[in-house]
Structure 1
């Protein structure tokens, strides 16, 4: 057999062997399995009562402040109070040397007695026309002037007893025994502050105040109470103050430098825990919302432009994209004002595996805790 014939005869054998091997491989491969819809974790949103609380920085201020100043000139003889103690309105605080004023009072009394006697005598004589009308009028004028001088002398003598103008806690004394008290002096002798009740002045951005009023006027938020808003305090050491206060008024103008408005609340302070000038944080309960939508933060994402969005599974188990409006955080949730409603199934797990229009299988989410607060704090 020639070599050419031998090579030609072997070709069908190789082809047959190749076909046989290919056929065996095809029979051994199993058919591809069909995959189901992706599984996503969802949270069914529910409407719930919600209390809006604004947390604002503030400082305490005395309810009333009075500076004790002398109203007569003289040497201080006694100081009659203990620094840092509580004093009552009308309590004597200092005694100014009254020797000169006692003498002036006696002189005024003598002058008043003499002028009164003369005026009374002239009153009898004028009826008999024994004196002129001018002399009688001058005697009456002298009598009135003497009475005024006597009253002034009595006032000056009373002012030598320096009294407390209001009730409150008195500070350190700037005057001591032997020092000179002068009318119109620049330095006050002491300062009294009434700190029960006590004011707390807090600042709130004007834009937040406008938003709060708009929500109240449009009915999205109801007032927390019939009267003034309730306020609670957190002290500098983080502890809660034991008494609640009420918002008394808001400033009528906006600070041009900070763009904020001053709100003043009044608090009872029976234990004198609060002192003027202390830094505190006030929680202002501004209003309530009966049916608020609070969405877990895991289900809210933002586009590169900052728009808040959410994926929701509809009744046909198809994913929908929603644009939402969020107001603030409430613990681990967002307060949603637009875009979501009660009954929506919000996707919080598997967001990276689905897109709008995808058919999915919804199961309860495992990455969201059931407990959540119902009050918002705005810092």
Structure 2
């Protein structure tokens, strides 16, 4: 080996030794990327969605008062808003024709009774004569038939008197229960027909809150729900009730279904016609509610990032979404109480990545 070759070999050795020394000089290796994320802890089931609807207070039972006979109405003693009591006369028809009819029926009955007396006396004579042999069977039978006919005519006349008395009584329109007048259908001086609505009485003893409910809400509502009803202008005045009646057909104009909610012990402030707000919670208990920002996708399916509290790493977990609410989403499966879900920064994560928790909310 020449002296030049030996020099080159020594230089290369020094370079290699310098390189090995540089690799072992204690310089730290770059730490893995730790990404800060905001999280929440899943606790409890979703509370469900609260639906608010506006309605009015109505009587549980409305009664239409109408005359049974026709005639000219000469008096109406109450108006809308007035309170009536059972047995109170609220309107009257002209009585002249009915009084004349009653007098005619009574006169007919009087004549029929006189005819009964006459035929009964004749029958008694013919029976005595027949027993003595001074009359014939034919005359006796004729007397019997005349008595029967007269008795029937008297019964018919008596029934006509009863009818005439009833018709005279029908000229007075009488309230059959306590309540409040909510509508009127005729004015004094009008000629009314039988059955025409004269007054509408809201009976005492029950109050309903009536709402127009969309089909989507009606179909999702639980069976026999409890409805919270409060006065729109003063929410402190409130009552609870249950659905008493649901219309089988939607309104042709609004497309909503009329739902009547029977109120339990409504306070005096919930007056007839008052505007109220009804609140119903639907969909509760079917999953866990999380913010919409926590949702991502894995192979086209919804998923969320779950934090391993011990290792401080994240992993993707598929979930099933039950519904989207204004406050977030409700997950029906894939989560358990106590899971730590990433709610912000989900787009920049990768499986197994180290994270630093910025805050936890439940």
Same fold flag (TM > 0.5)? yes
* Separation of aligned partners in 1, 2:238 and 2:230: 9
* Separation of aligned partners in 2, 1:237 and 1:117: 73
Change (3 A) 1:360 1:193: same
- The offset of 1:149, in angstroms, is 0.9
The answer to whether the aligner puts 1:335 opposite 2:344 as a matched pair is no
Partner of 2:159: 148
Q: Which secondary structure does the structure 1 equivalent of 2:209 belong to?
A: strand
- The offset of 1:93, in angstroms, is 0.7
Q: Which secondary structure does the structure 2 equivalent of 1:47 belong to?
A: coil
- The offset of 1:203, in angstroms, is 4.4
Partner of 2:170: 159
What's the CA shift string for 1:33-61, capped at 9, x where partnerless?
52243343332212247466443454554
- After TM superposition, the structure 1 = structure 2 runs for residues 205-244 of structure 1, keeping only pairs within 5 Å, are 205-206=214-215, 209-211=218-220, 228-237=224-233, 239=235, 241-244=237-240
- The offset of 1:241, in angstroms, is 4.5
Contact 1:62 1:198 in 2 (8 A): yes
What's the CA shift string for 1:306-332, capped at 9, x where partnerless?
x54311124654322233333346674
What's the CA shift string for 1:138-194, capped at 9, x where partnerless?
2122112101210111111111212124432214655555x14333486x4333234
Q: Which secondary structure does the structure 2 equivalent of 1:101 belong to?
A: helix
Change (3 A) 1:353 1:60: same
Contact 1:42 1:362 in 2 (8 A): no
The TM-score, its normalising length taken from structure 1, stands at 0.68
* Separation of aligned partners in 2, 1:229 and 1:211: 11
Partner of 2:10: none
Partner of 1:312: 306
CA RMSD of aligned residues (A): 4.1
- The offset of 1:95, in angstroms, is 2.8
* Separation of aligned partners in 2, 1:261 and 1:185: 29
* Separation of aligned partners in 2, 1:32 and 1:47: 45
The answer to whether the aligner puts 1:246 opposite 2:223 as a matched pair is no
- After TM superposition, the structure 1 = structure 2 runs for residues 174-193 of structure 1, keeping only pairs within 5 Å, are 175-177=186-188, 179-184=189-194, 188-193=197-202
* Separation of aligned partners in 2, 1:180 and 1:207: 47
Question: In the comparison of the two structures, how many residue pairs are matched?
Answer: 325
* Separation of aligned partners in 1, 2:303 and 2:336: 14
- The offset of 1:231, in angstroms, is 0.8
* Separation of aligned partners in 2, 1:242 and 1:141: 65
* Separation of aligned partners in 1, 2:260 and 2:246: 6
Partner of 1:360: 354
* Separation of aligned partners in 2, 1:54 and 1:154: 57
* Separation of aligned partners in 1, 2:326 and 2:87: 53
- The offset of 1:292, in angstroms, is 4.6
Change (3 A) 1:325 1:45: same
Change (3 A) 1:82 1:259: closer
- The offset of 1:208, in angstroms, is 5.0
Give the gaps of 5 or more residues in structure 1: 1-22, 214-222, 371-379
The one of 175, 181, 184 equivalent to 1:170 is 181
